[in-house]
Amino acid sequence: MQFSAAQVALMINGRVEGNADATVSAFGKIEEAQANHLAFLANPKYEDFLYSTGASVVIVNEALELKQPVSATLIRVPDAYSAFAVLLDKYQQIKTQQLVGVQEPVYIHSSAKMGNDVFIGAFVYVGENSSIGNNSKIFPGVYIGNNVKVGENTIIHAGVKIYHECVVGSNVTIHAGTVIGSDGFGYAPQKDGSLKKVPQIGNVVIEDFVEIGANTTIDRATIGSTLIRSGAKLDNLLQIAHNVEIGNNSVIAAQSGVSGSTKIGKNVMIGGQAGIVGHIHIADGSKINAQSGVSKSIKTPNSAVTGSPAYDYTAALRSQALSRNLPQLEKRIQDLEKMIAELMNKK
């Protein structure tokens, strides 16, 4: 595929500076790009490469002031990083839209419903009464159980397992190896010390425009639904327990775990390897630092916490600063004690 600078600018509402007929057919890093490559500059640390890059077209911020002439055609936009993301998304859509049809061998139950322009890869299993919406792409080795609903324009990558009764919305992306709807971790202690399994009869509901990374597990609810609200972004290697609710546009980084029945609000940001106990609430806009252990509810919106147990981020920084100064403080106390002792001896 080949596009002119003018065509690219039209896609991202940019302004061409230079040769509007310059063509591009591939993407490239600004420091490595060659002729016919499209690159972008968002980080000022890479500005020097703008003047030496081989790229034919470079997307830059509107406010960028050139320090010397450039050979590439520029496309100026308010936010170069976001504009480049839009282009990559369009490029990916074009590539996936070309995938249509059913590869062999597959198993699709006769009662399952397939939308228009669906792609089903080899060794896919689609269970009884399940449905897949228009233009969705199911890659090889995916298991879709009975009574599962998958919306439109959704991409489910290789090896994903979606258990019975679960619901996946439209414009969702689920990466390889993720398991949706496995049993929640529920056991009732018995008098003899054994553990009796509590049946998990709920499901998982994933709303629209959610992205879930590779090898993440989202457990089905004991009763009701584990909910991933629209716009949420979940990284690789997460454990989301039964009856958890993750709010709109919240982000969770890799290797974090959320225990059962915890409710996470909207626009929450959770760093990698954070752990959150069960049955608590995390207020909208909260920020949880990497490796934090959250043991109680965060009730104030837009709070930031860190540490284990997690507490106020600013207070934690002050504590860390004081900790670093402990040797000097100890010496000062020893000097003061010595001075007091000397004064006492003079009496």
Model pLDDT for residues 225-271, shown as the tens digit of each residue: 999 999 999 999 999 999 999 999 999 999 999 999 999 999 999 99
Match 């509007």 to its residue by tokens. Answer: 20
- Which sign does the torsion angle of CA 228, 231, 235, 236 carry? positive
- Is the bond into 309 cis (omega within 30 degrees of 0)? yes
Please give the backbone phi and psi of residue 179, each rounded to the nearest 5 degrees, phi first: -120, 120
- Measured CA to CA, the distance from residue 29 to residue 133 in angstroms comes to 36
Looking at residue 311, what is its pLDDT? 67
In the chain, the percentage of residues whose pLDDT exceeds 70 is 99
- Give the domains, in start order, of the chain with CATH numbers: 3-97 (3.40.1390.10), 101-315 (2.160.10.10)
Instruction: Tell me the one-letter amino acid at 138.
Output: I
Active site residue 242: yes
Token pair, residue 159, equals: 């090896």
Catalytic-role residue among 37, 157, 242, 281: 242
Looking at residue 98, what is its pLDDT? 79
Q: 106-158 pLDDT, tens per residue?
A: 999 999 999 999 999 999 999 999 999 999 999 999 999 999 999 999 999 99
Q: How many residues would you count in the chain?
A: 347
Match 């981020």 to its residue by tokens. Answer: 313
Pairing outcome for strands 275-276 and 225-228: unpaired
What distance lies between CA 162 and its chain's CA centroid?
19
Residues 6+ apart with CB under 8 A from 221: 184, 200, 202, 203, 204, 242, 243
> Whole-model pTM?
0.81
